[in-house]
Amino acid sequence: MSKAYTEITAGLADAISHAKGKRSRARINRPDPIDVKAIREKTGMSQQRFCTAFGISLGTLRHWEQGLRAPRGAARVLLKVVASNPKTVMNAIAN
C-alpha cells in the first residue's frame, strides 16, 4: 500500500475513534470565547442599534449574549474588530 493510503486510513481511524468518544490523536482547536455583551456595551449601543449598525439580527445577538450560541467565522472576526475600533467599522459599513 502507498504511504498516502496508510496516512488516510490512520486519519480515518482517528476520526472514528474521536466521534465515538474514544481517545485518539485528533486535535481539537476551540477559539477563545467572545463576550459579545461586553463588546456591545463598550460601544454604548442598545441591542437594536448595535444590530442595525453591524447587520446582525436581534435574535442572533440575544443568543450570543445569553451564551446559547457563539459567533463563528466572519461574525467572529467582525466582533473582534468592533471590539477594538467600532467607529472605524461603522464608517466602513456606511461607505
State the pLDDT at residue 31. Answer: 83
Sign (positive or negative) of CA dihedral 40, 69, 71, 27: positive
* Distance, CA of 41 to CA of 52 (rounded, Å): 15
Domains of the chain, by residue range, sit at: 1-30, 36-94
Measured CA to CA, the distance from residue 73 to residue 66 in angstroms comes to 19
Residue 66 confidence (pLDDT): 97
Counting beta carbons within 10 angstroms of the beta carbon of residue 82, is it exposed (0 to 12), middle (13 to 18) or buried (19 or more)? buried
CATH topology assigned to domain 36-94: 434 Repressor (Amino-terminal Domain) (1.10.260)
Tell me the per-residue pLDDT of 5-18, one tens digit each, with 9 for 90 and over.
899 898 888 889 88
- How does pLDDT run across 58-94, given as a tens digit for each residue? 999 999 999 999 999 999 999 999 999 988 988 888 8
Count Cβ atoms below 10 Å from residue 79 Cβ, excluding itself: 20
Residue 22 has pLDDT above 90, yes or no: no
Q: What is the mean pLDDT of residues 25-47?
A: 90
